Amino acid sequence: MLFSTLLLPLFLSLLSVADAHSHRLNKRLPSPSWHHARDHPVHALFRRDPGDDGQDYPDVGTPEWSSKYPNGPPDVTKMPAGWSNALKAAVSAGKIPNIPVSSSPGNVNPTYPAGHDPNGPEICSSTYKCRGQGEIWDGPDGTFGLGFDDGPLPPSGRLYDFLREHNETPTDFMIGLYILQNSQMFLQAVDDEHDIAVHTWTHPYMTTQTNEQVVAQLGWTMQIIHDSTGGRIPKYWRPPYGDSDNRVRAIAKEIFGLECIIWNQDTEDWSLTTNGTTPQAINASMTHWLTGPKSPGLIILEHELSDQSVQAFIDAYPVIVQNGWKIESVAQLANATNPSAYRNAPGTGDGPVTAGDILAPTPQTTTSATSSSSAT
């Protein structure tokens, strides 16, 4: 997807956010059954509660909430010291491969300097279909991994309503800046118990980013999700354009505990608005995949980016059902022994948290969302 396609929804989000329904965050972390994974650096970076970290988290959508986060590509000199220290420690420990940053002039597939094979063991770029260690590309047999990229945006509302009507829960791979700008839509996803995963702060090709930029892109998105969901720490991320490599995936895993979900089929629905594809072409692809073999299970790249891309899913939904696929949030499918979208989930840590370590539910207002959306 070209970056320019990202800007239109940004603009549209400003126009329509005032019409968004008001939601309040009322899904507390169940206590005391949620756990931090204490053996991972992410435990120290995101402590969930005021008692733990001394912070009092502002209500989602308020100006005080908005002011905590970057309004655009993050300035690496302004990220929390804990993140840069964790990066330095990981680099010193030899956990982050010292491979070149790629370049992508004109936002095309990133390339590496001569002598560095993107498909070789040194780089292993997912843009070039090299599957990195631990990366998830396929679902379990017979399953349809439900997931959508690039929200929350105004078109998300229709998708979320449709999913609620059909009792389906997706994984939303969310862009941090869009959460900042569409806080009420974000809260609808949380209210509907969608699984929230990380899709970076401003959607760059991640292999073009320096180590520090990778940390900031992931860290701020982790932070806003954590602060705005009562302390949930996302466990999964998806790189924009599916672009990751050994360096980027090591930073995601070592600093933030993030595991990567790619996809095994691509509708190219992001290009519906630019005539890159058509509803008929998507329908033909979907029918082909959905009536085909059930091994491996399907993880299809789909977007909540436009009314057209949302419609493409709505059109395909009956075909998914009719062909007997087991539909489940892709984050729930990714690890059968611990099906949770969050790092601090039952069974992933070493002890219960204490009562009072969660954010109390607080009423939200649409006026505050309008304030936050002025931050472009």
Residue 343 structure tokens: 């790092």
Question: Which is nearer to Zn ion, 150 or 254 (by Cβ)?
Answer: 150
Question: Which is nearer to Zn ion, 149 or 195 (by Cβ)?
Answer: 149
Q: Which of residues 284-343 bind Zn ion (CB under 5 A)?
A: none
CB of 218 to Zn ion, least distance (A): 14
Which residue in 264, 269, 312 sits closest to 292, CA to CA?
264
Query: Which range in 56-64, 147-155, 256-264, 279-287 contacts Zn ion by CB under 5 A?
Result: 147-155
What 3-state DSSP class applies to 149?
A: strand
CB of 203 to Zn ion, least distance (A): 6
Question: Which is nearer to Zn ion, 197 or 255 (by Cβ)?
Answer: 197
Write down the catalytic residue from 23, 199, 226, 303: 303
Question: Which is nearer to Zn ion, 149 or 254 (by Cβ)?
Answer: 149
- Relative to beta strand 236-237, strand 259-260 is parallel
59, 150, 243, 259: which one binds Zn ion (CB under 5 A): 150
Query: Which range in 44-52, 77-85, 146-154, 359-367 contacts Zn ion by CB under 5 A?
Result: 146-154
Q: Distance from CA of residue 225 to its chain's centroid?
A: 9
What 3-state DSSP class applies to 324?
A: coil
Helix (H) or strand (E) holding 91: helix 81-92
Integer Cα distance of 284 and 319 in angstroms: 11
Is residue 147 near Zn ion by the rule CB under 5 A?
no
Query: Which range in 142-150, 151-159, 287-295, 320-328 contacts Zn ion by CB under 5 A?
Result: 142-150
CB of 237 to Zn ion, least distance (A): 11
Residue 261 structure tokens: 């979900």
Residue 195: count other Cβ atoms within 10 Å of its Cβ. Answer: 26
Phi, psi dihedral angles at 171 (to 5 degrees): -95, 125
Q: What does each C-alpha distance from 221 to 169, 179, 191, 252, 273 come to in angstroms?
A: 21, 9, 19, 12, 26
- The residue type at 52: D
CB of 333 to Zn ion, least distance (A): 20
Q: What does each C-alpha distance from 64 to 60, 136, 187, 216, 362 come to in angstroms?
A: 9, 37, 17, 21, 14
Question: Which is nearer to Zn ion, 22 or 104 (by Cβ)?
Answer: 104
- Annotation marks residue 149 as catalytic: yes
CB of 175 to Zn ion, least distance (A): 7
- Annotation marks residue 43 as catalytic: no
Query: Which range in 82-90, 124-132, 148-156, 354-362 contacts Zn ion by CB under 5 A?
Result: 148-156
Is residue 240 near Zn ion by the rule CB under 5 A?
yes
Is residue 269 near Zn ion by the rule CB under 5 A?
no
Q: What is the largest CA-CA distance in the chain?
A: 56
Is residue 149 near Zn ion by the rule CB under 5 A?
yes
CB of 108 to Zn ion, least distance (A): 16
Query: Which range in 89-97, 141-149, 154-162, 181-189 contacts Zn ion by CB under 5 A?
Result: 141-149
Question: Which is nearer to Zn ion, 150 or 302 (by Cβ)?
Answer: 150
Question: Which is nearer to Zn ion, 112 or 178 (by Cβ)?
Answer: 178
CB of 150 to Zn ion, least distance (A): 4
Residue 367 structure tokens: 């006026």
Write down the catalytic residue from 49, 149, 243, 245: 149
Which residue in 73, 97, 106, 101 sits closest to 207, CA to CA?
101
Q: Do 276 and 124 meet the contact criterion of CB atoms below 8 Å apart?
A: no
Q: Which residue is closest to Zn ion by CB? A: 149
Q: What does each C-alpha distance from 311 to 98, 103, 109, 282 come to in angstroms?
A: 43, 34, 28, 11
Catalytic residues: 149, 303
Query: Which residues would be at the binding site for Zn ion (CB under 5 A)?
Result: 149-150, 240
